Structure 1
Amino acid sequence: MLHLRLIVPQDRTDDVVHLVRHTVGTTHLVVMPGVALDPAGDVVTCDVAREAGDELITSLRELGIDESGSITVEETDLTLSAHADRAEEEAPGEGADAVLWEELADATHEESTFSVTYLAFLSIATMLAACGVMLDNAILIVGAMAVGPEFGPLAGISTALVQRVPRLVWRSLWALVGGFAVAMVLTAGFAWMMNGLGLFTGAMIEAERPNTAFIWQPDWMSFVVAFLAGIGGTLSLTSAKSGALIGVAISVTTVPAAANAAVAFSYQDLAQTWGSVGQLAANLGGIVLAGTLTLLVQKALWAMHRRRIRAA
């Protein structure tokens, strides 16, 4: 269930109450007249089944409540109520299949911010991966992939393309391209420092490295894995099952490929540099394509389901 807390101008309260009452899947409607001070108005709360949440939120925005008041949505982990059980039974579809587009847009917008924290995580992940590729250590590679925050901007691009929000596309692209550029430059500097300390050597970059050689040898399997991971990651975001994102993060070699490109460039090994760049491009392209197609399919299926329910 979702819990909605609304601040509503007093002249729109009746419209909001009417809307909530006539939306299938809602319950626990409470109106507190005049208690809101900033912005001034009434406070209206209700619970709604997740599968009915997007329709209700969209209708509230059409009433202008997000402009004249506020709409706050919270996930409820546990609701013990026969009314809530009945509301979920009446709501069309399954909650796990429903996409809250406003929630998705807000989450990807936040994750696509070109911030100091985002750069720090991406740079640290890339440096960890650099240690992994030089030592041919798969454990370090997996750890680096788990730390990397790059799925946020990738999901932001897919969401923005489906929702047709050009500003979010450019914001996400800037976070992705700019973030990897900064991380790779810092990692190249890190490699030079480690070389000066005698911890990295040219012989390490030229070694066979059987555990990590795939990172600079892209093939169609690289794209297939990235495509499948993009589907899984997108489903994880839309169904609020964020735990699956860890599995997605350690399935693709975006961060290790960027790390190997930076390290190889610092040793002037251009063959490995370009191979790693190809691996990075295959992974990024596969995830964006998969995420966009997944969201388009989800949007179409949910629209068809709604039409069937209304026709019935």
Structure 2
Amino acid sequence: MLHLRLIVPPDRTTSAVRLIDSTVGTAHVVVLSGAARSPSGDVVMCDVAREAGDELLHGLRELRIDQDGSIAVENIDLSLSTRADAAELEAPGEPADAVIWEQLAGATHEESTLSITYSAFMILATMIAACGVVLDNAILIVGAMAVGPEFGPLAGVCTAVVQRRPKLAARSLMALFVGFTAAMIATTVFSLGMDALGLFSKAQLDADRPNTSFIWQPDPFSFVVALLAGIAGTLSLTSAKSGALVGVAISVTTVPAGANAAVALSYGDLSQMWGSVAQLTLNLFGIMLAGTLTLYGQKMLWRTQRGRWRRAPKV
């Protein structure tokens, strides 16, 4: 379940409480008149089943409580209450299938912001992948995939398209472009340095590399895997099953493709470089396409359930 803590202007407290009471899946309503100081107002708290959370948040925003007051949402790890159990049963569907769109937008906004930390992870992941492609070491490739933070901006693009938020789309695309560009430039310099130290060589890059040659040789399976990864990653975000993101990260060759392109560029191997760029572009496009379609599908399902939430009687 979710716990909501609201600061409500006094003239809208009655409307907010009425909305909570009329929403299927709510419980434990508390009203503290005049308890809030900044902004001033009444404090209203309640618990709501995750399946009904988005419906309630939508109604609260229509009351402009987010603009004139405050709405805070927390996940409840444990709730021992017969009323909470009844609220869960009232709300249609399963908690894992529910999408809290405001929560998703907030998460993708944070993950898609270009920052020093994000750029550092991108650069480090690409450098690790560079070592993996030169040594033909699959373990290093998997490690680089897990370190790479690029799924955040990819999810941001998908969310922005579905929610029609051009600023989020621009921010996410900027993070992707600048992040990969900086990582590839830094890795090219890193490769030149490793070559000067005798740790990288052109012969290693030109070798058969059976474990990593797929990185710069895109094929239809690359696009299929990207589509599947985009669906899985989006579902993991919307269902709060973030552990699945690790599996998504190590299933697509975004960071390794960027690394191979950088190493190939340092040696002037344009064939491998362009092949790697094609692999990178194919994976990024596949993830964004699948993620966007998945969110559209979930949004359609949410709209059909929204009417059921409003019509269902309270227990």
**TM-score, normalised relative to structure 1:** 0.98
Deviation, 1:14, is 1.1
Q: Which structure 2 residues correspond to residues 164-175 of structure 1 after superposition, within 5 A?
A: 164-175=164-175
Q: CA–CA distance in 2 between the matches of 1:219 and 1:177?
A: 23
What is aligned with 2:207?
207
Displacement of 1:306 after TM fit? 3.1
Shift of 1:287: 0.2
Structure 2: how far apart are the matches of 1:33 and 1:49?
Answer: 25
SS at match of 2:41: strand
Deviates more, 1:186-195 or 1:90-99: 90-99
Q: Secondary structure at the match of 1:73?
A: strand
Are residues 1:26 and 2:26 paired?
A: yes
SS of the residue aligned with 2:43? strand
Question: Which amino acid is 1:61 matched to?
Answer: R
CA contact (8 A) 1:233 1:245 kept: yes
Tell me the amino acid that sits aligned with residue 47 of structure 2.
D
Matched ranges for 1:256-295 at <5 A: 256-295=256-295
Q: Contact 1:92–1:306 (CA<8 Å) still a contact in 2?
A: no
1:121 and 2:121 equivalent? yes
- Where do 1:1-312 residues align within 5 Å? 1-307=1-307
Cα displacement (A) at 1:307: 3.6
Kindly tell me: are residues 41 and 91 of structure 1, through their superposed partners in 2, closer, same or farther at Cα, counting changes over 3 Å? same
CA distance in 2, matches of 1:190, 1:220: 31
Give deviations 1:147-169, integer Å, cap 9, x for gaps: 00000000000000011111111
Q: Distance in 2 between matches of 1:189 and 1:241?
A: 38
Give the letter for the 1:54 counterpart: D
> 1:212, 1:290 → 2: CA distance?
25
Distance across 1 between alignment mates of 2:311 and 2:107: 33
Q: Over residues 185-220 of structure 1, what are the superposed CA-to-partner deviations in whole Å (9 max), with x where a residue is unaligned?
A: 000010011111111111111111110000000001
Whole-angstrom CA distance in 1 between matches of 2:277 and 2:219:
12
Contact 1:253 1:280 in 2 (8 A): yes
Of 5-14 and 263-272, deviating more is 5-14
Q: Secondary structure at the match of 2:210?
A: coil
Separation of aligned partners in 2, 1:96 and 1:61: 24
Decide which moves more: 29-38 or 243-252.
Answer: 29-38
Q: Is the 8 A contact 2:8 2:44 kept in 1?
A: yes
* Cα distance in 2 for residues equivalent to 1:76 and 1:309: 21
> How many Å apart are 1:302 and its aligned residue?
2.2
Return the alpha-carbon distance in structure 1 between the equivalents of residues 74 and 44 of structure 2: 14
Q: What amino acid is the match of 2:152?
A: G
Inter-partner Cα distance in structure 2 for 1:135 and 1:185: 20
Superposition RMSD in Å: 1.0
CA–CA distance in structure 2, aligned partners of residues 102 and 37 of structure 1: 25
What count of residue pairs does the alignment treat as equivalent? 312
Distance in 2 (CA, whole Å) between partners of 1:305 and 1:58 is 14
Which of 250-259 and 10-19 deviates more? 10-19
Q: Distance in 1 between matches of 2:154 and 2:305?
A: 28
Q: Secondary structure at the match of 1:162?
A: helix
1:241-292 Cα deviation digits (max 9, x unpaired): 0000000000000000000000000000000000000100110000000000
CA distance in 2, matches of 1:310, 1:75: 23
Task: Tell me, yes or no, if the aligned pair for 2:91 and 2:309 is still in contact at 8 Å.
Answer: no
Unpaired runs of 5+ residues, structure 1, are none
| 8 Å CA contact retained: 1:253, 1:283 | yes
**For the structure 1 residues 272 and 196, does the alpha-carbon distance in structure 2 shift closer, same or farther, using more than 3 Å as the test?**
same
Give unpaired runs (5+ residues) of structure 2. Answer: none
Using the alignment, how far apart are the partners of 2:245 and 2:4 within structure 1? 26
Q: Offset at 1:308?
A: 5.1
- In 1, Cα distance between the equivalents of 2:22 and 2:228? 40
